[in-house]
Amino acid sequence: MKKGFLLVISGPSGVGKGTVLHDLMNTQSNLVYSVSATTRKKRDGEIEGVSYFYKSREEFEQMIKEGKFLEYAYVHNNYYGTPKEFVEDKINEGKIVILEIDVQGAVNVKKNTDNGVFIFLAPPSLKELENRIVGRGTETDEDIKLRMHNARKELMYINDYDYLVVNDHLNSAITSVNEIINAEKHRVYREDDIDFKEDNNE
In the chain, what are the domain boundaries?
5-34+95-190
pLDDT in tens, 91-119: 999 999 999 888 988 999 998 888 899 99
Say yes or no to pLDDT of 194 above 70. no
Coil, strand or helix: which one is 7?
strand
Cα 22 to Cα 18, 26, 98, 116, distances in angstroms: 6, 7, 11, 20
pTM greater than 0.85 (yes/no): no
CATH homologous superfamily of domain 5-34+95-190?
A: P-loop containing nucleotide triphosphate hydrolases (3.40.50.300)
Rounded-to-integer distance, Cα 76 and Cα 127, Å: 30
Rounded-to-integer distance, Cα 6 and Cα 99, Å: 7
pLDDT at 193 (0 to 100): 58
* Interaxial angle between packed helices 126-136 and 141-155, expressed in degrees from 0 to 180 and rounded to the nearest 10: 150
* CA atoms in the 13 A half-sphere facing the CB of 107: 9
Rounded-to-integer distance, Cα 151 and Cα 140, Å: 16
Rounded-to-integer distance, Cα 185 and Cα 188, Å: 9
DSSP state, residue 162: S
Rounded-to-integer distance, Cα 88 and Cα 159, Å: 26
pLDDT in tens, 10-29: 999 889 898 999 899 888 88
